Amino acid sequence: MQAKLSLEELCAGQGLSRSLVVEMVEYEVVRPVAGERDADWLFEAGAAHWAKRALRLKSDLDLDWLAVAMLVDLLREREALARENAQLRQRLARFLAQD
């Protein structure tokens, strides 16, 4: 089970303002896994990685939040596909080794 971060912990750990994280949530760049109000939000520890990465994309490429959100979604999907591919390669290697 992954550790959970409160909004305050996420902000403090990454040096982000509360309003910036709220804006990231509005565009689904980071997603709370629990809590209805921002004061109650909890984030998976990986949200810190995505918040940092999103800020860098926004700054380096001079993008608006909508474009950043789209890029982050594509990067998440790419990482998931890479993990799945690695798992399938391991299974294939085990299958071929049985012969």
Q: What is the DSSP letter of 34?
A: B
Using CA of residue 55, residue 61, residue 67, residue 73, what is the dihedral sign? negative
pLDDT value for 39: 92
pLDDT value for 1: 64
Dmax (CA) for the chain in angstroms is 58
Q: Tell me if 29 sits within 8 A of 65, measured CB to CB.
A: yes
pLDDT value for 98: 85
Q: Which of 34, 7, 36 is nearest to 20 (CA)?
A: 7
Q: Which domain does 71 fall in, by range?
A: 4-97
Residues of the chain under the 70 pLDDT cut? 1, 99
Residues in the chain: 99
Write the CATH number for 57. 1.10.1660.10
When divided into structural domains, the chain yields a total of 1
